[in-house]
């Protein structure tokens, strides 16, 4: 008999689709005192990695400069039998070179602003890149769940 955990796990293909369906990413970093720092950001997937960009002076970047461990959460569903999610733990690669930041910022903006002219987004990303850091998350472990697979039994 299959374990419940195995029944609700997303396949790699299901995980890819699930991530693509999500708009916001919850990001956890570690504060100086060891407590978690949580924030929500827009993101993109580039070369198989989740990426986002944020102000270089933000708390999450200061935390990642000190300790590159990062946790991500993507989730949806409002009722228990509809809950789906993915927790990704890994390491953050930080990029401050404006050309690199521009590349990732453009992908995040394009993903979250469909229908907006890419050249216009590129100009905005170029401006943003001067004061931002791009974060590429290198996943170590991924835990997933999809309660719809339980067919109403718990």
Confirm if 66 and 37 have CB atoms less than 8 A apart.
no
Residue 154 forms part of a structural domain: no
Residue 31 forms part of a structural domain: yes
| Number of structural domains the chain divides into | 1
**What mean pLDDT value characterizes the chain?**
93
**pLDDT tens digit string along 55-102?**
999 999 999 999 999 999 999 999 888 899 999 999 999 999 999 999
For residue 86, what pLDDT is reported? 97
Confirm if 68 and 111 have CB atoms less than 8 A apart.
no
Which residue range(s) make up the domain with 67?
4-149
CATH number, domain of 62, equals 2.30.110.10
Residue 24 forms part of a structural domain: yes
**pLDDT tens digit string along 27-41?**
999 999 999 999 999
């Amino acid at each position: 008999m299959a374990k419940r955990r195995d029944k609700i796990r997303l396949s790699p293909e299901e995980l890819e689709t699930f991530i693509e369906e999500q708009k916001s990413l919850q990001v956890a970093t570690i504060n100086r005192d060891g407590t978690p720092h949580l924030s929500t950001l827009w993101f993109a997937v580039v070369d198989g990695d989740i990426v986002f960009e944020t102000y270089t002076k933000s708390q999450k970047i200061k935390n990642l400069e000190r300790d590159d461990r990062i946790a991500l959460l993507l989730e949806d569903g409002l009722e228990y039998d509809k809950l789906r999610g993915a927790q990704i733990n890994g390491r953050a690669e930080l990029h401050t070179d404006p050309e690199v930041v521009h590349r990732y910022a453009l992908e995040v903006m394009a993903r979250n602003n469909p229908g907006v002219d890419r050249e216009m987004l590129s100009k905005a990303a170029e401006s943003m890149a001067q004061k931002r850091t791009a974060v590429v998350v290198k996943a170590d472990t991924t835990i997933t769940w999809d309660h719809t697979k339980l067919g109403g039994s718990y």
